Structure 1
Amino acid sequence: MAALAWLLIPVAAAVAAALWGSWAARNRKAGDVAELAGYARFREAMERTESGSGSAS
């Protein structure tokens, strides 16, 4: 019975690794569109803002 327990430990670890690997490699392209649109809005806002640090002299 002890040999069976020692065999089940690596089998359970392999199953857990396979599940984690499939979860880590999942398709995550659904959120990229909103993220890229937010970045584009950020860049536009940074280009529009005027710096007031040099205008006081």
Structure 2
Amino acid sequence: MTALMWLLIPLVTCVLAGIWAWCGGRPADRDLWTDVDRYDRLRAAHARMRTAAPEHGA
């Protein structure tokens, strides 16, 4: 019986870890295109800062 208990403990641990990951995971209703648009605006802002800033050390 103790051998079966040693097999039961990891099984229960794996099942509970899976339930915890499923419940506490990131929500799936994120809008990908909003994130892409936000990234494009950030990249454009960085490009504007690079062209507007004077070169240092040259």
TM-score, structure 2 as length reference: 0.49
